[in-house]
Amino acid sequence: MNETMNAFLARLYSLEGKTALVTGGATGIGRMIATALVQAGARVLIASRKAADCEAVAAELNALGSTGTAEGFGGDVSSEQGVKDLVAAVKARTERLDILFNNAGVTWGAPMESFPWGAWEKVMNINVTGLFTLTRELLPMLEASGKPGDPSRVVNLGSVMGSTPMTDPTYSYSTSKAAVHHLTQILANTLAGRNVTVNAFAPGPFQSKMTAFATGTDEKAAKIGKGVPLGRIGLPDDIAAAALFLCGHGGSYVTGQILHLDGGLHANYPGGLFDEH
């Protein structure tokens, strides 16, 4: 690759000098995001309920030899106090924040007849209330870092299941992700004048801890992929490219978007994501 091409790509996608927080960044899509940001040169704070896992992932990312760095620590967005503690932990580590990935989430599956009250409370608290509250509490840092032409970025993790009614018994999860999509657009409108963009990913099936029951082996992943219009499940590079687009200079004019990383499921698939194929 010649120097002109290198400079062009760096101008659009480099994150050198940027600081990011990725919640739920120790596994699955969160880890894919954290890896991409580090490799693009960012300083990445990785937080989840399991501090030891975050520390281990950070050490692995630092060993990649990229210009970016990673730091892992504990953080829990399931309660108001947990969010306050996480915000304090972030402020203790950095004076600036350019990128926030609200990736932490939880799911619950059960038949309608036995779907418990607590499944709604837990899922909505983490996936929606925790996301909103963390964004609000970190907003002063994001506003301080953003500027015209180079706004700070908030990216929320939605789901194709929040866009397309499916038959899978994940009532609270799918509803929470629909709320994330709607909240993303509300926040995008609210924060546009403050030099903060807000977008969301709406992934289809990727290999992760959350979907391990269906994608935990290559055989299972291939089976699920048959139900996707493009014929496969998502790969880490699919997440990486989208993350660098939204967070790099090339994505500075994009806000209020729900980016479907789903192989066409939201437009073409009428059934259940994890049905037999």
Query: In 3-state terms, what secondary structure has residue 8?
Result: helix
Backbone φ, ψ for residue 53 (5° rounding): -65, -40
* Pairwise CA distance, residues 201 & 36, whole Å: 15
Give, in degrees to the nearest 5, the angle at Cα 235 between 104 and 172.
Answer: 35
Strand ranges inside the chain, DSSP E: 19-23, 43-48, 69-74, 99-102, 152-157, 196-203, 258-261
Q: Tell me which residue has tokens 């108001």.
A: 80
Q: Tell me which residue has tokens 């000098």.
A: 17
| Type of residue numbered 212 | A
Q: How far is CA 70 from the centre of its chain?
A: 16
User: Which residues form the catalytic set?
Assistant: 173
The answer to whether the beta carbons of residues 21 and 99 sit under 8 Å apart is yes
Give the DSSP letter string of 243-256: HHHHHSGGGTT--S
Torsion of CA 49, 171, 271, 264, to 10 degrees: -40
Give, in degrees to the nearest 5, the angle at Cα 135 between 131 and 136.
Answer: 120
CA distances 8 to 68, 145, 162, 250, 258, Å, are 19, 24, 36, 11, 26
